[in-house]
Amino acid sequence: MIGPARAPVSMRVNGEIHEIELEPRVSLLDALRDHLSLTGSKKGCDQGTCGACTVWVDDRRVLACLTLAVACEGHEISTIEGLATGGDLHPVQSAFIERDAFQCGYCTSGQIMSAVALLKEGNAATDEEIAEHMSGNLCRCAAYPHIRAAIRDVRDADTTTSGRA
């Protein structure tokens, strides 16, 4: 038969360890969605162009569709499902609701994972900076001005995450 054999992989996602069997060609995105039932990360293009699959690997933003799951062994993966603490939304999640920073919601997980990261990175000092650093995440509903407003709100509410400029 043609095709690679499955092999055991240990994945640490949102602080939890999962032991699963994967073919080495399985992307991190498909591993999350099809094997771990974590469908919050979205598949908009599977080609690295839309950003809907944005997750963090060791706190760095990556496109899960262009990352092989087996290459993530030994690394900490964070997804949208791990962002809220208990029942409390992350401030960026709350701000997205308040500012109506989404419509269909399909890009939203990726937008929020990017937004939280860029605040941490210190890349949110100005609207221009926010726009530039959020431009890897497409929103076809074009909620972009509201996405900027949501990020601004969180930046201004918490001085520890303000941009370094």
Partner 1 sequence: MSNAIGKPISRVDGRRKVTGAARYTAEIELPNLAHCAVVGAAVPSGRILAIDEKRVHDAEGVLAVLTHDNLTKIASQPPLLPSLAGGPAPGETFFPMQDDTVHYAGQPVAMVVADSHERAQYAASLLDITYERADSITTIEEGRATAYEAETLFGGLMPARNERGDVETALAQAPVRVDVDHHYAANHHNTLEPSATTAVWDGERLTLYDSTMGVRATQLTVAQLLGIPIAHIRVITEFVGGGFGGKAMTWPHVTLAAMAARHVRRPVRLSLTRPQTYTSHGHREEQEQRLSIGATKDGLLTAVRHEKLSVTSPFDDWAEPATGVTSQLYRCENYLGLHRMIRGNVMTPTFMRAPGESLGVSTLEVAMDRLAYATGVDPVELRLRNRASVDEHGNPWSSDGLEECLRTGARLFGWDRRDPEPRSRREGDWLIGSGMAVAAYPMAFMMPPQQARVRVYADGSAVMQCGTQEFGTGATTAMAQVAADGLGMDMNDVTFEAGDSDLPNASASVGSMGASMVSAAVHNAAIELRRQLVAMAVADTGSPLHGADASAVVVEDGRMSLGDGSAGAGETYAEMMRRNRLSMKDALGDWTPPPMDAPHGMMTFGAQFAEVAVDPDIGLVRVRRMVGVFAPGRVLNPKLARSQLMGGMLWGMSQALLEGNQMDPRSGRWGASNLGEYLVPVNADAPDVTVEFVDVTDEVAGPLGVKGVGEIGQVAMAGALMNAVFHATGRRLEALPMAAELVMDPPGTSA
Name the site residues for partner 1 (rule: CB under 8 A): 1-3, 23, 25-26, 30, 33-34, 37-47, 49-50, 52, 79-81, 83-84, 89, 93-94, 96-98, 100, 102-109, 112, 128, 130-132, 134-148
Please, which residue, 107 or 159, has the CB nearer to partner 1? Answer: 107
Do the beta carbons of residue 24 and residue 15 sit within 8 Å? Answer: no
Residue 32 Cβ, how far from partner 1 at the closest point, in Å?
A: 10
- The stretches of 15-107 forming alpha helices (DSSP H) are 28-30, 91-98
Q: Quick one: residue 5, left, alpha or beta (phi over 0 = left, psi -120 to 50 = alpha)?
A: beta
Residue 119 Cβ, how far from partner 1 at the closest point, in Å?
A: 15
Cα–Cα distance measured from residue 140 to residue 137, given in angstroms and rounded to the nearest whole number: 10
Please, which residue, 43 or 161, has the CB nearer to partner 1? Answer: 43
Cα–Cα distance measured from residue 77 to residue 13, given in angstroms and rounded to the nearest whole number: 5
Residue 114 Cβ, how far from partner 1 at the closest point, in Å?
A: 10
